[in-house]
Structure 1
Amino acid sequence: MADHQETLDLRSYAALGDSFTEGLDDPGPDGVFAGWADRLAGLLAERRPDGDFRYANLAVRGRLLDQIVAEQVPQVRRTGPDLVTFCAGGNDILRPGSDPDEVAERFEAAVLELREAAGTVLICTGFDTRGVPVLKHLRGRIATYNGHLRAIADRNGCAVADLWSLRAVHDRRAWSDDRLHLSPEGHQRVALLAARALGIPVEQDPDAPWPARHVPSPAELRRENIQWARSYLLPWVGRRLRGESSGDHVEAKRPELLPL
């Protein structure tokens, strides 16, 4: 693994990926989605009292791995940031008939490019979907992909934010109403996890227990699941059948390395 102590002096950071890294369902004060990558950038900027820190977020919702490689990786080669976070392939794995072995091969090819252009590369494993409706059936495929990602990180000296092991996201409050994207608190937990993976000390524990809450009854859960299916699952399936993406006509929110 790479020596992550050097990341304490990071001056620039580019985030690559899809809706997870774009920050969906974590609205910022300006109305633009923030998300874990923006929150991580804030933590890194705080460590530079001279204010010399630049950040780009190239992620766009709905993007597949090949689209991320074609659209976002060249930006990293052009700008050469000190840190890149590269979280991709999740949308590929969700597609029927996808092969996690083949997706991982393309992911590693992109990592090789990024390692040539950036000082440090951090990748994220996929979440454990055992408690998520519909997605729980993909748990084995996600686990296989995660095994590849860890091997890729070992071979190429990448840091790893291990989302599979993050128990805090097993709580419903870590997720927004669509159950596909993190809530603001969920994004904060991931930002803390990523900081730790880089060797950045943080005061809060990303896996700190949640406050006690009301536990829904089986009847309440059924009603919630029906409402979720109507509001989110069926439209999502419809877009898949029509070949549409939530990211159609969406551009990166922060395409250049600019002061934070």
Structure 2
Amino acid sequence: MEMNASYTSFVAVGDSFTEGMSDGLPDGSYRGWADLLAARLAAREPGFRYANLAVRGKLIGQIAGEQAPVAAGMGADLVTLVGGLNDALRPKVDMGRVRAHLEESVALLAPSCRQLVLMRSPGRNGPVMDRFRPRMEELFGIIEELADRHGALVVDLYGAPALADPRMWDVDRLHLTAEGHRRVAEAVWQTLGLPPEEDWRTALAPTAAPGWAVRRSQDLSFARRHLLPWIGRRLTGRSSGDGRPPKRPELLPHDASAADRLS
């Protein structure tokens, strides 16, 4: 890894995590770690270009077929690929197929760019995540193996207790808050060998846990607003990203506005 390197272009590939849910902006759109990272990179390099092909709900097969070839064709300096977790969180999954699609994507992207970055995604502490943890860890083992084989960097978010803190997660319990995305951007930044601004692993300050009644109310609200619709989409084969275009489909100059910068 080249320390303090300059990157002239960046393409982000993935699902809702890379799209930026739930780091909401006033206009109803999402920002997220990839936008934050792009803003910081753009501040270092005049003419910096950025594309974000991520679409919420995408499975790794869709990412491999729809996004990876487009990203490879852009010839960017930096490419991030985060995918497979939507597959692992489904009631049934063929991890052999997940591996095959990841291998296909990494083999295509690694030679197309100067630096490919993969991730061990964060996981929220709780009983739902505990149920899927063995699958997640199998997925992350595949990612580590592919990174070693193809010279990719791996950002280990899964190993950071701070990002497992439920307070880092939105009410849907699937997507990080703005603070979580800000820390992910810093983690990728540091993995690229760029000068750190903070310790992104620092734990949140302790707070009093909500009482039993509050927790039950939160659980019921979560189930009604998020869990049941999610289950319904899984049972009917639908996705929240159906018909949705990529977030930023072309590799275009990035305006590193003050609103995008980390502070």
Match of 1:224 in 2: 218
RMSD of aligned Cα (Å): 1.6
Is 1:67 the counterpart of 2:70 in the alignment? no
1:152, distance to aligned residue in structure 2 (A): 1.1
Stretch deviating more after TM superposition (187-196 or 209-218): 209-218
Stretch deviating more after TM superposition (30-39 or 10-19): 30-39
- Give the aligned residue type for 2:50: Y
1:242, distance to aligned residue in structure 2 (A): 1.6
**In 2: Cα distance, 1:65 partner to 1:4 partner:** 29
**In 1: Cα distance, 2:18 partner to 2:104 partner:** 20
- Give the aligned residue type for 1:160: V
**In 2: Cα distance, 1:197 partner to 1:114 partner:** 18
Match of 2:178 in 1: 184
Is 1:33 the counterpart of 2:27 in the alignment? no
Match of 1:54 in 2: 49
**In 1: Cα distance, 2:161 partner to 2:116 partner:** 24
- Give the aligned residue type for 1:174: M
1:133, distance to aligned residue in structure 2 (A): 4.0
Match of 2:88 in 1: 93
**In 1: Cα distance, 2:115 partner to 2:155 partner:** 13
Runs of 4+, deviation exceeding 6 Å: none
Deviations 1:124-161 (A, max 9, x none): 113245x2342320101111111111111111110111
Secondary structure of the 1:13 match is strand
1:230, distance to aligned residue in structure 2 (A): 1.2
- Give the aligned residue type for 1:12: S
Match of 2:163 in 1: 169
Given that residues 13 and 71 in structure 2 are in contact (C-alpha distance below 8 angstroms), is that contact kept between their aligned partners in structure 1?
no
Match of 2:249 in 1: 255
1:92, distance to aligned residue in structure 2 (A): 1.1
**In 1: Cα distance, 2:132 partner to 2:112 partner:** 33
Query: Which sections of structure 2, spanning at least 5 residues, go unmatched?
Result: 255-263
Match of 1:238 in 2: 232
Question: How many residue pairs align between the two structures?
Answer: 254
2:106 alignment partner, one of 111, 120, 125:
111
Match of 2:261 in 1: none
For normalisation by structure 2, the TM-score amounts to 0.91
1:198, distance to aligned residue in structure 2 (A): 0.9
For normalisation by structure 1, the TM-score amounts to 0.92
**In 1: Cα distance, 2:166 partner to 2:90 partner:** 24
Deviations 1:26-73 (A, max 9, x none): 12355421101111111211222xx22000000000111111111111
Given that residues 86 and 123 in structure 1 are in contact (C-alpha distance below 8 angstroms), is that contact kept between their aligned partners in structure 2?
yes
Secondary structure of the 1:9 match is coil
**In 1: Cα distance, 2:212 partner to 2:103 partner:** 43
2:14 alignment partner, one of 4, 7, 17:
17
Given that residues 69 and 108 in structure 2 are in contact (C-alpha distance below 8 angstroms), is that contact kept between their aligned partners in structure 1?
no
Stretch deviating more after TM superposition (222-231 or 17-26): 222-231
**In 1: Cα distance, 2:161 partner to 2:187 partner:** 11
Given that residues 123 and 129 in structure 2 are in contact (C-alpha distance below 8 angstroms), is that contact kept between their aligned partners in structure 1?
no
Given that residues 168 and 180 in structure 2 are in contact (C-alpha distance below 8 angstroms), is that contact kept between their aligned partners in structure 1?
yes
Q: How does 1:193-208 map to 2 (within 5 A)?
A: 193-208=187-202
Match of 1:156 in 2: 150
1:99, distance to aligned residue in structure 2 (A): 3.2
Query: Which sections of structure 1, spanning at least 5 residues, go unmatched?
Result: none
**In 2: Cα distance, 1:228 partner to 1:168 partner:** 22
